[in-house]
Amino acid sequence: RPARRQLADSVRAACRRARRAPDRRCARLRADRAGPGPAVCGDDRHPPLEPAGERDHRRAETRAGVLAGSAQVEPRKSYDIDSLTDVALRVFAERGYDGASMDDVARAAGITKASIYHHVSGKEALLERGLGRALDALFAILDEPAAREGRAIERLRHIVERVAEVTLRLLPELTVLFRIHGASKSEREAVERRRSFDRYVTEIIVQAQREGDVRRDLDARLAARLIFGMSNSVVEWYRAGSLTREAIAHAVVSLAFEGMTPR
């Protein structure tokens, strides 16, 4: 009986080994297995055998793909300082500058934080570049011929319309600009530049009042704030495709000047 038990145990162990073992290829290879091409056994049920070199190369490629996280590794995106600023501004506009982190920017860009620090010193540097874009675009309007020549009311009309257009064209940049609070050095400098812009427009309104084209009972500084408050509000509700930039700019001008001009 002990001999029978030992035999049964041996059979069960052999069965377990057979179940765990990988699928074996038939050893009955054709006589031409040494020739070119994969080795093939005489049993049609078995697929061709890969040559050892090709099999090892394939396994190495598979292991490399797994280690990289995917068998087909996508090349990393390439960014420069301008494209990184684009990504950062979208993140700042969505989450708020104070609520956004460099991790958020890196995640949105699909790169590591170290890659970002290769281009900029930190989050405030990205903010500074974005605010510079916004303010440079606004002040460029004041240098346009239509903003410098002619009656004050026409210059004002051109500036208001162009501010609305620029706001829609540079929506992330202007969104960030209109929401900053002056907490950092870059924010304080941007706030001061924006106030300088508003003062310039206020002076044009005063000149238009002197020329009789704007109601004298209006406070010029308040009028400038209300006009740009209406124009700036588009960053809160505008969605691409809902209205054209031209239609929004025209509506801002119409509403603003119908209330300012004498009847």
Lowest mean pLDDT among 8-12, 174-178, 216-220, 223-227: 8-12
C-alpha distances in Å from residue 31, one per residue of 27, 46, 240, 261 = 12, 17, 71, 102
- Domain membership flag for residue 133: yes
The CATH number of the domain where 188 resides is what?
1.10.357.10
* 54-74 mean pLDDT: 42
pLDDT of 135: 97
* 205-244 pLDDT per residue, tens: 999 999 999 999 999 999 999 999 998 888 888 887 778 8
- Domain membership flag for residue 64: no
- For residue 161, give its domain range: 127-260
The answer to whether the CB of 184 falls within 8 A of the CB of 127 is yes
Q: Residue 29 phi/psi, 5° resolution?
A: -80, 155
- Domain membership flag for residue 25: no
Q: Which residue has the tokens 């055998």?
A: 49
Nearest to 207 by CA among 262, 144, 136, 155: 155
- Domain membership flag for residue 237: yes
Q: What angle do CA 186, 189, 193 make, to 5 degrees?
A: 135
Enter the tokens of residue 229.
């408050």
Q: What distance in Å separates the CA atoms of residue 127 and residue 45, rounded to the nearest whole number? A: 66
- Domain membership flag for residue 10: no
- Domain membership flag for residue 154: yes
- Domain membership flag for residue 78: no
Mean pLDDT of the chain: 80
User: How many structural domains does the chain have?
Assistant: 1
- Domain membership flag for residue 201: yes
pLDDT of 51: 52
